[in-house]
Amino acid sequence: MDKGAIRRRLAVGLALLTASGLLAVAAPAQAQAAPTRCEGRKVKTYPFSTGTLYVYKRGGYVCAITKSKDPGRKQWMMVSVQARRANPVVDEWYYSHHAGPVTVHAGQRCVWVKGRVGRGSVSKGWILC
């Protein structure tokens, strides 16, 4: 094979690699859409004045989601799950329906869950111990 043929094959290979990389960067929003619910079984429900905090468990994982009592209107929402001796995982922003889900690997450790919708909130001490 002469040098020209090698260069052409390298150029074609580089072009294919670049194109596939661009597609991988452009497509993840559709391919990796965030889930809108927790997996596992619901273990706790904490209603409060403006919403409800739901806690789910599956294996060693704990998941939480905060839902508004007044869906459709954007307002500040937050959900947080913290396993003992670990940093909390938090989702907070202006949402119209729910905040979360957020998931932590707790194993057999206790977790602290919090939820907020507008001015109403709930914060539970160490649970699922």
User: Does residue 91 register a pLDDT over 70?
Assistant: yes
C-alpha span between 80 and 41 (Å, rounded)? 18
Tens digit of each residue's pLDDT (9 = 90 or more) over 56-80: 999 999 999 999 999 999 999 999 9
Each residue of 37-63: b (16+ CB within 10 Å) or e?
ebeeeeebebebebbbbbbbbeeebbb
Sequence ranges of the domains in the chain: 1-33, 41-127
**90/17: higher pLDDT:** 90
pTM score, two decimals? Answer: 0.73
pLDDT of residue 36: 74
| Radius of gyration of the chain, Cα coordinates, nearest whole angstrom | 22
CATH of region 41-127, choose from 2.60.40, 3.40.1350, 1.10.10, 2.40.50: 2.60.40
pLDDT of residue 27: 38
